[in-house]
A and B are shown apart, each in its own frame.
Chain A
């Protein structure tokens, strides 16, 4: 397998506050990686650095063998790296269909188009003319994922896609993950729901206070080890 994404010793600061301390993380082609960790562990900061939303000049981030640290977010997106942002962030004055179409603004070709997204999430088809923000939370999340897929990414980064959703809806949304991977897209999912993360991922990284506190395959990780890596104590 080839390495699709790799960060070495990645750091990030907000003013004097250091949010990331030397993150080493890699994603192989075809993998699904889960990043777990409590609020403020640095998960979202990590995604923002990788996607170029936060300038990471001078850092070491390679994508498909190419150095992307310091590139603008739109250039990184053109290389096939898409993100489903935290909180869905649908465009409120655009319809569902328009929200999806705008995901294809970069004109990358591949298996995903409007029809395929509607096949993946049939609930969106009959609501295609509705305003994106008129839908239920779960359907909005489907639009956000579909919008990112429309760019035909090789690597899809999902930031907390289960946040605030009912368990049944979360299962529905996660049912799409294997279908996305079958079509050649690798995934990184950020999750606070540990059980969900362990179910879906090939490998898990746990972040704690800006560092990788644990990494491994779900089957290798004991509950205690995860609890310690997640909360920082063994009793929690």
Chain B
């Protein structure tokens, strides 16, 4: 029973990792853009929620909505003004620019909020749980986060495969050079993709802010979890990313159950095992 509890907690944690991964996967999928500052963007979203709730006194739900809108707008403008300039055949310039951004963001957050770890209080919500018996209890907050992750991924799936915007994003992923011949502007399409990814980052960051303590330096390790979840699940498969997040989450909680020090290591080992057995990921789409 204890192990069932461990696995259930791992699955719930996996939802959060899938959210970390979805934004990263989206930007890479549409424009082959590797965002090294992805983890730091998640932390920025966490701090934005902190400001909304603690400084402005907004209820968390309203705060999350505001962060999503704000991050999407900044994502759109950032892509158009800055990131589109480094987007080319060469994959290195985006990596270097976002690496620089990562350093700037971490230091700016340190300056503004200090190195103290923070947490956004979510009241009774944070401690409430559904108790099934002595050994299995599911926290309401982790459950809500997991459902939010599934919901976000469902919405992304719907946008990508059922709407004209999604069609355009998939076409851009296939062959960006001829997108202007379809009458669409690449700079705009890329910026829309980043706005969408930033909205997902905002949800991920605000969830993180309510779930655990955070400080300005935790971005890079979130980036690593995001990469691992994407690669375990397989590139270009959004439900695979959810599965990747869950596998990573379950591996971590099992590791933690054996010994608290093994939590992170167990996740990395699961990632390495998948890389050895299926280097393209478990659910990679076969592409011609």
Contact = CB atoms under 8 A, between A and B. Distances in A.
Contacts of B180: 52-53, 72-74, 77
B157 to A, nearest CB: 14
Contacts of A102: 167-168, 171, 182
A130 B174 CA distance: 16
Given A89-B175, A105-B164, A133-B288, A94 B182 contact: no
Nearest to B172: A91
How many chain B residues sit at the interface, stated as a range, is 10 to 19
A16 B288 CA distance: 37
A98 interface: yes
Contacts of B170: 91, 93-94
Interface string A147-162: 1100100000000000
Given A98-B167, A102-B167, A133-B288, A74 B184 contact: yes
A37 interface: no
Interface of A: 51-53, 72-74, 77-78, 82-83, 85, 89, 91-94, 98, 101-103, 105-108, 133, 147-148, 151
Interface in B175-212: 175, 177-185
B72 interface: no
A215 B174 CA distance: 38
29 contacts: A51-B181, A52-B180, A53-B181, A72-B180, A72-B185, A74-B179, A77-B180, A77-B181, A82-B181, A85-B181, A89-B175, A91-B171, A91-B174, A94-B170, A94-B174, A101-B167, A102-B168, A102-B171, A103-B182, A105-B164, A105-B168, A105-B183, A105-B184, A106-B184, A107-B183, A108-B183, A133-B288, A151-B182, A151-B183
Contacts of A106: 182-184
Contacts of A151: 182-183
Contact of B183 (A77, A85, A93, A94): A77
A45 to B, nearest CB: 15
Given A94-B167, A102-B168, A102-B171, A74 B178 contact: no
Contacts of A83: 181
